[in-house]
Chain A
Amino acid sequence: MLRVEGLHSGYGRIQALHGVDISVAEGEIVALVGANGAGKTTLLMTICGNPRASAGRVLLGGEDITTLPTHHIMRRGLAHSPEGRRIFARMSVLENLQMGAALGDPAHFAGDLDKVLELFPRLKERLAQRGGTLSGGEQQMLAIGRALMSRPKVLLLDEPSLGLAPLVVRQIFEIVAAINRDQGVTVFLVEQNAFHALKLAHRGYVMVNGRVTMTGSGADLLANPEIRAQYLDGGAP
């Protein structure tokens, strides 16, 4: 579904990715874990075409999207819930969701809205509220809900657990699993919270300094002593 081949990218002269290969099959949840500054967010942003890849290719459903402008990429069934949520703070929750459907067929809007609100009942209570007045967890739900409004085939999630209480993190990950299971959306997840991410994911990749160093099934990676030592022990619940 989504393939990244030998991707190089960076900001100006600073190279952040040094030849990354990743593939996500249809219907999978794939997690990419790594420390701060490993290049996880850069990878997602490069998939979306901003910044541009300096070498390598990004394929979505077999089509090369490496050089397409961002707004064209997003029209091809990709949705991105960006790092730090980036909801529209002064617009209401409903308007935020509406923006998510900006590219879609207006005829689908009501049905898609019901689906999203079913996944996130909390948002339903807050539809008229301004996005900026939501709690962190609710904002994350809104960001994911907004991304879902475009009926994506592939959902890119950037650090959905950022700054959230453990209980809320668990809740969000359960919802992500449900989105994948019930709606058949392929999920590519980027996380620092390796424990939750790998538990959820079918497969995982570990990224260090702009390179993928390890890959395997989520369970295998979780059991790997090296990963336990680096990302899990001490930090995990």
Chain B
Amino acid sequence: MKRRLLDATLAALVAGLLAVPMLGFRLVDSATGLSLSGRPELVAWAAALVFAGRLGLGFLRPAFAALSLPALPAPPGNLRSIAGWALTLFALVLPFLPFADRNLVDKATLVLIYVMLGWGLNIVVGLAGLLDLGFVAFYAVGAYSYALLSQTFGLSFWVCLPLAGLLSASFGIALGFPVLRLRGDYLAIVTLGFGEIIRVILQNWQNVTGGPNGISGIERPSLFGLSFKMVPPEGHQTFAGFFGLDFSADHRVIFLYFLILALALLTNLFTLRIRRLPIGRAWEALREDEIACRSLGINPTLVKLSAFAIGAMFAGFAGSFFATRQGFISPESFTFIESAVILAIVVLGGMGSQIGIVLAALLLIGLPEWFRELQQFRMLAFGGAMVLIMLWKPSGLLSNREPTIRLGGRA
């Protein structure tokens, strides 16, 4: 009892200290200028709430431990693949379901962007075990590559997409070289810096990137030359006209949805395949033990660089898609918080689990979008959900790893 009281008091003290600068003062705009007014009652409330909560938790925890959430049975491999197929099928028919309005498809598109980014980062973090906090840099490189290539040279989305992927991959290698010897925390710091460097360059290289104003009027993609505009560019047909449909802006939304779905599925397929190839296995082995890898004759330089490059390439694809979907990009879309969210998706999903990443992206991107009504409490709910997941499943939602090879059966 005494220990719990002490514990709760300590927590209340910390909360009170934190609340002083955050809740304790308020700027008042008066006739004489700005002044500060104190709000000690709010600080007291915060401390009291935390005290009560902590004490309650202290009492509840033994009860919880006795009850404990049922440990999810490890889903057998084929169940997981069935779930994967079911999810894919659902994603394919989603835009045609009766309740799917334009808003829903648009949000699903956003979720898919993050699923794809998560799958891309998963190669670097989940498989190769290289903690990358600057992943958004490659996303930005992809977006700006497309925007600049299309505006400067008038290239179409489909030509720019592979180019953007290639450019991002070369940036991945450029980042990879100096950090070859680093691991863990040190690597994280350098990649964090790299992400910021890219963003700052985008912000300050006015005459190329447009600086903080960004790039607007980015060309929208077409389907084999069929435009989704009301009035097609010269020498082109509209999608609606070609298929004899009435023009609707929804067509483009649905087209974009399928585009990102295809790109994301490509990423997934690639990862599932490459895990069974020597390079993919080498990534995982490198995550487990670098020295053992060396003593087995694996070249860690090559393995690390390829992980960085391929992860970056998929981020580049996603970036191109982002640019073409938004039609406008600016450095503000590529801040550190994006990297953090993508990393959170990978970690919450259970490092290395493809379906886990889908679930985590739905949770972290989808839910906040659907709960916009919560307004300023949205981020609170977001943070709370993350804490709860980590308490419940400390190694991520789906964390058990599928071996890539079994004896006497298919892998």
Contact = CB atoms under 8 A, between A and B. Distances in A.
A98 B300 CA distance: 17
Contacts of A74: 294-297
A76 B131 CA distance: 33
A3 to B, nearest CB: 20
Given A99-B296, A103-B296, A146-B296, A82 B405 contact: no
B295 A90 contact: no
A89 interface: yes
Contacts of A95: 281, 284, 403-405
Contacts of B404: 95
Nearest to B290: A86
B294 A48 contact: yes
Q: Which of B288, B294, B297 has most chain A Cβ within 10 Å? A: B297
A119 interface: no
A128 B406 contact: yes
A91 B293 CA distance: 13
A88 to B, nearest CB: 4
A71 B294 contact: yes
Most A Cβ at <10 Å: residue of B281, B282, B287? B281
A128 B403 contact: yes
B403 A94 contact: yes
Interface string B240-282: 0000000000000000000000000000000000000010011
A71 B289 contact: no
B401 A70 contact: no
Nearest to B404: A95
B296 A150 contact: yes
Contacts of B278: 102
A54 interface: no
Interface string A145-185: 01100100000000000000000000000000000000000
Contacts of A90: 284, 287-288, 401
Interface string A79-119: 11110001111111011001110110000000000000000
B201 interface: no
Nearest to B406: A128
A18 to B, nearest CB: 24
B10 to A, nearest CB: 36
A33 to B, nearest CB: 21
Nearest to A106: B278
A91 B292 contact: no
Contact of B296 (A50, A89, A102): A102
A89 B298 contact: no
B291 interface: yes
B407 interface: yes
A141 to B, nearest CB: 15
Nearest to A96: B285
A146 B289 CA distance: 14
Nearest to B352: A90
B76 to A, nearest CB: 13
A70 B294 contact: yes
Contact of B405 (A89, A94, A100, A103): A94
B296 A91 contact: no
A121 interface: no
Contact of B284 (A81, A91, A94, A147): A91
A92 B405 CA distance: 9
B284 A88 contact: yes
Given A88-B289, A128-B403, A102 B294 contact: no
Q: How large is the interface on B (under 10, 10 to 19, 20 to 34, 35 or more residues)?
A: 20 to 34
A127 B288 CA distance: 18
Contact of A91 (B285, B299, B406): B285
Given A86-B289, A91-B288, A99 B295 contact: no
Contacts of A86: 289, 291-292, 295
B349 to A, nearest CB: 16
Contact of A102 (B291, B297, B403): B297
Contacts of B407: 94, 127-128
Nearest to A84: B291
Given A82-B292, A86-B292, A88-B284, A103 B403 contact: no
Contacts of A75: 297
A225 interface: no
A74 B299 CA distance: 10
A87 B292 contact: yes
Contacts of B288: 88-91
Contacts of B294: 48, 50, 70-71, 74
A106 to B, nearest CB: 9
Contacts of B295: 48, 70, 74, 79-82, 86, 147
A82 B293 CA distance: 10
A69 interface: yes
B405 A98 contact: yes
A58 to B, nearest CB: 15
A48 B298 CA distance: 12
Contact of A94 (B293, B299, B401, B406): B406
Interface string A36-59: 000000000000101000000000
Contacts of A71: 294, 297-300
Interface string B387-404: 000000000000001011
B292 A88 contact: yes
Contacts of A150: 296-297
Contacts of B403: 91-92, 94-95, 128
Contacts of B401: 90-91
B332 to A, nearest CB: 38
A93 to B, nearest CB: 9
8 contacts: A74-B296, A91-B401, A99-B293, A103-B297, A103-B298, A127-B407, A128-B403, A147-B295
Given A71-B297, A91-B288, A95-B405, 9 more contacts: A48-B295, A50-B294, A71-B300, A80-B295, A82-B295, A87-B292, A94-B407, A95-B404, A146-B296
